[in-house]
Amino acid sequence: MSKIDKLLKLDHSIWVKLNNEWHFRMFDEIMPILRNQYTWAPVYAFLLFFSIWKFGKKGLLWSLAYFITFALCDFISAGIIKEAVMRLRPCNDPIDALHMRLLVECGSGYSFPSSHATNHFGMSLFLYFTFGTFYKWIKPIVLIWAALVAYAQVYVGVHYPIDVVTGAFIGSIIGYMVAKLFNKFVALKSY
């Protein structure tokens, strides 16, 4: 058995535990809400308005960089990697779909990497390294937020663990790099 086969077998075993065995009634209600992009729309809107209100023109540039972070994450994960790898989602896999708990609509796209994880980790790391320099309290919140969204993807049955881990890694790199460029050329200042 090759190393990749071993890794995929381990990935599947962890997925079975997280999706089938380690479930709780309360999580069954919460996780579909956590992974829904409309749940977070008010947060995104608040961040955009807050940044402009608090930092003026620099806040407008921050909003643009935040959007660029999201766009890069989504394009790289969904537009490039998913189309190249074409891994089936667990809910679209004929064998896994027979013995899984699917709590949301499956979706027709591919699974690897999770765009939710990529996008949320990208936006979270961008926040971490821009707002987090003077709003220290935001650092743990954005990391927990991204981790919960990523975990919810596996819990509800639409991604395997390696999909969300890889998405988190890719998003973190993108978020960090865009934040680094933003801080170098614009940088917000606390008043």
- The structure tokens listed for 49 are 């308005």
pLDDT of residue 69: 98
* DSSP class of 92: T
* Interatomic CA distance for residues 85 and 106, integer angstroms: 18
The whole-model pTM stands at 0.92
Within its chain, how far is the Cα of 164 from the centroid? 7
* Interatomic CA distance for residues 120 and 141, integer angstroms: 12
* Interatomic CA distance for residues 16 and 175, integer angstroms: 30
Q: Give pLDDT tens digits along the chain (191 positions).
A: 788 889 888 888 888 888 888 888 899 999 999 888 889 889 889 999 999 998 999 999 999 999 999 999 999 999 999 999 999 999 888 887 777 888 888 887 899 999 999 999 999 999 999 998 888 999 999 999 999 999 999 999 999 999 999 999 999 999 999 999 999 999 887 54
pLDDT of residue 190: 56
* Interatomic CA distance for residues 129 and 178, integer angstroms: 9
Identify the sign of the CA torsion 15, 170, 182, 189: positive
CB atoms within 10 A of CB 190: 9
pLDDT of residue 77: 97
